[in-house]
Amino acid sequence: MSIHKKPEPPAPVCSFCGRPNTMVGRLIAGDGANICSECVSQCAALLNKADANGVPCNTPQGLQVSGENASALAALLAALTSGKTTISDLNAAAANGVGDGAAGGTSDSGARGGKRGPVDASTAGAGSAAGSGRGGKKSAGGVSVVEPDNAPPKPVKLIPPAEIRAVLDDYVIGQDQAKKVLSVAVYNHYKRLNAKLAADARKKSGEPEPPPVEPFAADLAGVEVEKSNILLLGPTGCGKTLLARTLARVLDVPFAIADATTVTEAGYVGEDVESIVQRLLAAANFNIGRAETGIIYIDEIDKLALKGDSPHVSRNLGQGVQHALLKIVEGSVCNVPPQGGRKHPDQQYAQVNTENILFICGGAFVGLDEIIARRVGSRFLGFDVTSATTGGEPLTAEQIMENLQPEDLFDYGLIPEFVGRLPVVSALSELTQKDLERVLTEPRNSLTRQYRKLFALDGVELVFDAGAVAAIAAKTLALKTGARGLRSVIERLMLDTMYSLPQERDAARVTITADSVEGKAPPVVERRK
């Protein structure tokens, strides 16, 4: 089964101020450049002043006419001088749906820099609508006007958990429990979201609530299902990030991956927590309604933990970020800088409601198994690492993870409020040698296929025999870096061959054997006759 997201066209932006069409009232598309309604208002005021005085006037503050901007203004002036468009037409098009907000004030469609509502379909001095929906355009006296893309989100196509799991199996080896948890959580999340979108549409249109299909659901009318965010635990290289990336292939929703280590609390150098939502907004092509139905994966969340009991300020920075993430993860309206980075007073923001955004957090949580072992009574650091529940056998890290309780995460350094907002927890197992061998050969984009393709570009066939695959997996297992170590081992193994092969025009096939991996013999190169 193969499900892929369709690429979306880039959102048109104003060539003057750089804002996307979702942040402005109207966007006038010229020949190779665009100009928004607010910049049109400034141009109209500029031209009116010049006509009244009979002399050119200075450029308004913030309106730089040069380079790409000059082509946008030239297209605008060409439309004006051709007689097809007048200043009054442009003023009417700028005012429609923007009102006084075009001059920097507020209007019924939202404050400047805030989230704008739908724009009225009628335009003074303009032609009939040429289209509607995403990126719809209208003609205003020969100049095309791009409608803002603030339409309400559409229902998401539900994919059964078994089908989601099947796609995850194509790319990720093992981790059956984590795949099952993710598949069910994503399915339930969008089933809940579709029900909420349908209820909102009925409320907006004034339609009554439909009667329950089943008699046992009679008392469920008006019940709101809350979202369940996910926490993934597991050692490095076990597939946490790959599971998140593969979900993006399955779902036709915006998906963003953020790194918790780049975020700092307010007042410190770095990015605000809202920059995480900004990544999702960019993935949604700056469509706010679509971004509000997406998924965010926050990697390295364990690096925000407060380590030890020291009150030193450097140890408390991660805890401050946890506090800042609380409202975003739970669901709130946050002001997102469209260009990312820090906020400043004169910046314009996009308001994004995170109530329907699914958050998946992942981390290695090194040392968490020791905390759990101490709580359940195992002498983890002593000579007898055993437990009564295993009949005297040594307690593995995976068995310890099965006993995970919220208090263990508190001891690790996560605050209780943050842990409570991640109710679904799944632990991933460390990959064994057999798992690493399967990672090398079975996934759709396995490493052996990747290197075979690299050699095929030079017209050479690359072959890994069974002994070589086992030897590479054994060598990687000793590195303790999980699946990521496979590429490191293969790169060192293939370095000399990849260096000399482009000069050897008669090479036809390269075979990697177990002796090649262990350094006892070079790879076998077969020549063309």
DSSP string, 333-381: EEEE-TT-S---TT---EEEE-TT-EEEEEE--TTHHHHHHHHHT--TT
Residue 55, token pair as written in the block: 């002399």
The tokens 């050692």 sit on which residue?
A: 235
In total, the chain counts a number of residues equal to 529
* pLDDT band, residue 313 (cuts 50/70/90): very low
Please tell me the distance from the alpha carbon of residue 47 to that of residue 425, in angstroms, as a whole number: 62
* Least confident span in 128-132, 299-303, 369-373: 128-132
The secondary structure of 181-206, three-state, reads HHHHHHHHHHHHHHHHHHHHHHHHHC
What letter represents residue 42's amino acid? Answer: Q
* Least confident span in 16-30, 69-83, 233-247, 311-325: 69-83
What letter represents residue 91's amino acid? Answer: N
Residue 16, token pair as written in the block: 């003057």
Please tell me the distance from the alpha carbon of residue 252 to that of residue 157, in angstroms, as a whole number: 8
Instruction: Give pLDDT, residue 441.
Output: 93
What letter represents residue 416's amino acid? Answer: P
* pLDDT band, residue 329 (cuts 50/70/90): very high
Please tell me the distance from the alpha carbon of residue 470 to that of residue 477, in angstroms, as a whole number: 11
The tokens 């597939």 sit on which residue?
A: 239
The tokens 């061998």 sit on which residue?
A: 437
Residue 211, token pair as written in the block: 């009667």
Instruction: Name the 3-class secondary structure at 312.
Output: coil
Q: Which residue has the higher pLDDT, 117 or 305?
A: 305
pLDDT tens digits, one per residue of 267-298:
677 788 888 999 999 998 888 888 999 999 99
359-387: b or e for each residue (b if 16 or more CB lie within 10 Å)?
bbbbbbbeebbbbbbeebebebeeeeeeb
H-run or E-run covering 510? strand 507-512
The pLDDT of residue 509 is above 60:
yes
Asked if 258 contacts 278 with a C-beta cutoff of 8 angstroms, the reply is no
Please tell me the distance from the alpha carbon of residue 35 to that of residue 19, in angstroms, as a whole number: 10
Residue 162, token pair as written in the block: 């078994």
The pLDDT of residue 125 is above 50:
no
How much is the CA Rg of the chain, to the nearest whole Å? 29
Instruction: Give pLDDT, residue 299.
Output: 92
Please tell me the distance from the alpha carbon of residue 150 to that of residue 135, in angstroms, as a whole number: 10
Asked if 291 contacts 278 with a C-beta cutoff of 8 angstroms, the reply is no
Please tell me the distance from the alpha carbon of residue 369 to that of residue 450, in angstroms, as a whole number: 35
Q: Which residue has the higher pLDDT, 152 or 262?
A: 262
Strand pairing category for 230-233 and 333-336: unpaired
Average pLDDT across the chain, whole number: 76
Instruction: Give pLDDT, residue 75.
Output: 59
Task: Report CA dihedral (9, 15, 18, 24) to the nearest 10 degrees.
Answer: -80
Instruction: Give pLDDT, residue 182.
Output: 92
* pLDDT band, residue 404 (cuts 50/70/90): confident
Asked if 156 contacts 39 with a C-beta cutoff of 8 angstroms, the reply is no
Residue 33, token pair as written in the block: 């450049």
pLDDT tens digits, one per residue of 429-462:
888 999 999 999 999 889 999 999 999 999 999 9
The pLDDT of residue 53 is above 60:
no
Provide, rounded to the nearest whole percent, the portion of the chain with pLDDT above 90.
Answer: 33
The pLDDT of residue 64 is above 60:
no
Residue 345, token pair as written in the block: 């007073």
Strand pairing category for 27-29 and 34-36: antiparallel
Region 248-257: mean pLDDT is 85
* Least confident span in 10-14, 96-100, 373-377, 403-407: 96-100
Phi, psi of 526 (to 5 degrees): -100, 135
Residue 77, token pair as written in the block: 């002036």
Region 26-50: mean pLDDT is 74
The pLDDT of residue 398 is above 70:
no
* pLDDT band, residue 116 (cuts 50/70/90): very low
pLDDT tens digits, one per residue of 142-177:
444 433 455 667 788 889 999 999 999 988 998 898
* pLDDT band, residue 263 (cuts 50/70/90): confident
pLDDT tens digits, one per residue of 483-508:
989 999 999 999 999 999 988 889 99
Instruction: Give pLDDT, residue 253.
Output: 87
The string of DSSP letters for 38-105 reads HHHHHHHHHHHHHHHHSS--PPPTT---STHHHHHHHHHHHHHHTSSS-HHHHHHHHHTTTGGGGGTS
Q: Which residue has the higher pLDDT, 8 or 82?
A: 8
What is the side-by-side order of every strand in the sheet holding 461-464?
461-464, 507-512, 524-527
Report which of 258, 275, 264, 267 is spatially closest to residue 336, judged by C-alpha positions: 275
Please tell me the distance from the alpha carbon of residue 510 to that of residue 504, in angstroms, as a whole number: 12
Instruction: Give pLDDT, residue 49.
Output: 62
Region 388-412: mean pLDDT is 68
